[in-house]
Amino acid sequence: MLSYRATLDVPVTTARTVSRWITAHRRHHDARPWQRAATSWAQAVMLLRWLIEAPAVTTVARDAGVSPATAYRYLHEALDVVSSKAPDLPDVLRTLKDKGEPFVCLDGTLIRTDRVAERDPDTGYHLWYSGKHKAFGGNVQVLTDHTGYPVWTSQVEPGSTHDIEAARAHVLPALYPVAAQGMATLADKGYVGAGIGIKTPIKGSKPDTGARSYNQVQASLRAPAERANALLKGFKALKRVTLDPATITNITATALVILNLNNNLP
């Protein structure tokens, strides 16, 4: 068999930081951390490779010299460790407010998954199927700064959940106080009726001149928010998740942490 070396498009400082976090986790939780099948560095590389390139876990296991079961366990463990470093929403909003951020943007994205059999007990429809996108997946709310850089991601909700429902569960209660302090949130039509401080387009088939002007300005200010989903889905693991859909929460949070590390952000 042929063998070859490959490179990962990630700064070595990012891999070292992830490895350091994993080492600290092992020392805290393992009775004999030196008996692990792979080093913290190898586990960090396994995570980054899977996140960035999305190879089969069996391939990652083979190249790391561990069993597939160990690779799955190490992957989930590393996701837990790194995602725990993701910023909390109140801290994010406080930091943005202190920096004088003019506004933030809120948008939902569907992280596609394999077919999920779970059904809504009330309707009988597939719980993880999004009628809007015609695909199975999980709904994740993404908050960005005014440049479109993602600053926070929510817990995953089944794909059948509407954006405004997911936002009410995870993000809107924290946005109202900062809106009262002058930092509004821009969102698309899916958030109409979200409440005071959540600026959405004016609906209507025949908007007047004022409504058209408002919608044009709102859309132009909100346009950079599309960058956030592109940055997150630049990690191939988020193109289609083949693990338990519940892990989407940790995967998106891990992707956000890695983005911040790559850009030397706290």
Would you give per-residue pLDDT tens digits along the chain (266 residues)? 555 566 788 999 999 999 999 999 999 988 787 788 999 999 999 999 999 999 999 999 999 999 999 999 999 999 999 999 999 999 999 999 999 999 999 999 999 999 999 998 888 899 999 999 999 999 999 999 999 999 999 999 999 999 999 999 999 999 999 999 999 999 999 999 999 899 999 988 888 899 999 999 999 999 998 899 999 999 999 999 999 999 999 999 999 999 999 998 87
| Residue 198 vs residues 47, 107, 205, 209, 219: alpha-carbon distances, Å | 37, 12, 21, 22, 14
The C-alpha atoms of residue 186 and residue 161 are separated, in whole angstroms, by: 20
Backbone angles phi, psi at 230, to 5 degrees: -65, -40
Residue with tokens 């391939």: 59
CA 69 to chain CA centroid, nearest Å = 25
Each as own residue / partner, the long-range contacts of residues 23-26 (CB below 8 Å, 24 or more positions apart, any chain) are: 25/77, 25/81
What is the rounded distance in angstroms from the CA atom of residue 186 to the CA atom of residue 5? 45
Q: Quote the DSSP letter at residue 189.
A: G
CA dihedral 204, 208, 210, 215 (to 10 degrees): 30
Any idea what DSSP says for residue 233? T
Q: pTM here?
A: 0.93
